[in-house]
Structure 1
Amino acid sequence: MNIIVTGGAGFIGSAVIRHLVKHTNYRILNIDKLTYASNLNHLNSIKNSKLYHFAQADITDKRKINELFINFKPQIILHLAAETHVDRSINNPSTFIQTNIIGTYQLLESSLNYWRQLKKAEQNSFRFIYISTDEVYGELKISDTMFTEQSPYAPNSPYSASKASGDHLVRSWYQTYGLPTIITHSSNNYGPHQFSEKLIPATITNALAGSPILVYGNGEQIRDWLFVDDHVKALMLILKKGLPGEVYNIGGNNEQKNINVIEKICQILDDLSLKKPNKIHSYKELIKHIQDRPGHDFRYAIDNSKMQDIFNWYPEESFEKGLTKTIVWQIHQNNTK
């Protein structure tokens, strides 16, 4: 089987590729533009595999994407390429519109043109899997039930609006043209290899450097955290058994306040007995509250019932063990620079 992974040099995309190369015999083509958040070093462990191929390309480049489809002949598209950082979307929404909406449109068009030329059996086994986010559903109050696949869309940031637009495009290409598409929504991912602008790696990086650990507002915002390898395992089940036209929500069953996540990271670092910077006694001393960002959603939480009922999938990694793995990986990265 041939699989195209877009955004494969990013955090989740690289985890998907590492898993595929190590645990399957599928041929993988990684299509990545190599933006600021991409890092081919994430793939060092598998880069010499005969199963792995890389093409630097922008998913908005119609000619190049069509050429890659014709030459590689994929059966599965795992579309992860996206601009994902909410703060950046507030400051520069045009990039998010271009990549997350226009890029997804172009990839759908290339997939449809390719798919129409396949034999019937090949058409039936083809899948276009779009990896989206729980943020398309907006925010929850503390008393609200968790997001389900039937939750209404209510995006509150340019990022989440651009991803919601991608969802609607993907769904319409299935409904209108019959392209076998699947949409997934995951909660906040974390783990080794994540780019340093996100909450958990930013906290770890700043703590180790002795820099202020910034907290938006009171830090009471709640997120559902999912270890990246658990997300990958869910995607593998969907890749093999997911049905066209379906939506699958992938959550971590792990709601945490942002301030509690930050304090937990500081506690783990304290327990590791590292040499602390700036003569501090605890990393918690570096925590600094700043003005909240515009449109900051209060709570996200995903109901996993559909994934559990259909695939018997459950997140396996405990939050503390997942955080510890992430912290130890970052310390190792710092020591090998």
Structure 2
Amino acid sequence: MRNALAELFGVELPVLAAPMAGGPSTPGFVAAVSAAGGLGFLAAGYQPPAVVAAEIDRVRATGRPFGVNVFAPSPVPVGTAEFRRYARTIAPEGAAYGLDLSAAEPVEDDDHWAAKLDLLTRHPVPVLSFTFGLPDRASVTALRSAGTRVLQTVTSVPEAVAAAEVGVDGLLVQGAEAGAHYGTFTPRALPPAAPLPDLVRAVRAAAGLPVVAAGGIADAAGVRAVLAAGAVGAMVGTVLLRTGESGASQVHKDALADPARAGTIVTRAFTGRPARALRNAFTDRYDGAAPLGYPAVHHLTRPLRRAAAAAGDPERLHLWAGTGYRAARAAPVAEVLAALASG
């Protein structure tokens, strides 16, 4: 296992930090993970290419291995009438911050896909992972030829086989317990949930590629379980959100520690794509009303979520969290990673 980790990533600690878009995975956070002997990933999702380039430069200057995660286009279009119905439904939430959500128009984009691929091909990074969809074989070949290890997030055996066919170096196998967005290629029909070790075994058998396991891993026992199933490493996210180096908002950190929180829910209320979050007033009110529609719903609610974060309002904020969120603690990244790898 250690030989595979060293060959793939240039690290020995069998714990990787998940890319967490929207704030948590800052350059400082990624550098702290790498300094502790693990592998951290910058989250290029939602970021303009110039910002991604600047963050890469900051982490590259440390001289340590790191990765970058990119959202591959996998649009889930939403009809204009359905979009406007939902915008009107949630409009009272925006009114509290002077936002007229009912006037929003649907925005469909590809998150600067071509520009990010161009950047990462011309200025290669050590490790690059893709989520939501597959890059084409030519792009994977170009990235690998430039010296980058290419990984693909998958949530099922069919996705793993498809990823192997485009020539990636390894797979990030995401289980149903993971926080934030499901990386599935088919958000309209989520794959059947399976215990993460079982999914790891099935994917390894079908695809024949090195596997990193993610989803609900919150302690050393969870790490041991996926390594015993054949993964070369475990990827964690939620358990690192409360660390001092995490860029998560204070309101998010506080919510993770709030004993009154009633667990997690898989919802499309915030972005139009299934994602696991702590339950709050927004998910309780609107989960049943939210349409599938990514990225249009994401762009609709983004101003509201930014305003809520600035105001310290956890009830209108996307509190992404995996099922192991109660294990998240306020401690240095290095301490948390060492505890996870202690088995």
TM over 0.5: no
Kindly indicate which of the two structures has a greater share of residues assigned to helix: 1
Q: Please tell me whether Structure 1 or Structure 2 has the larger radius of gyration of its CA atoms.
A: 1
Higher RCO (CA 8 Å, separation ≥ 6 residues):
2
TM-score by length of 1: 0.33
TM-score by length of 2: 0.33
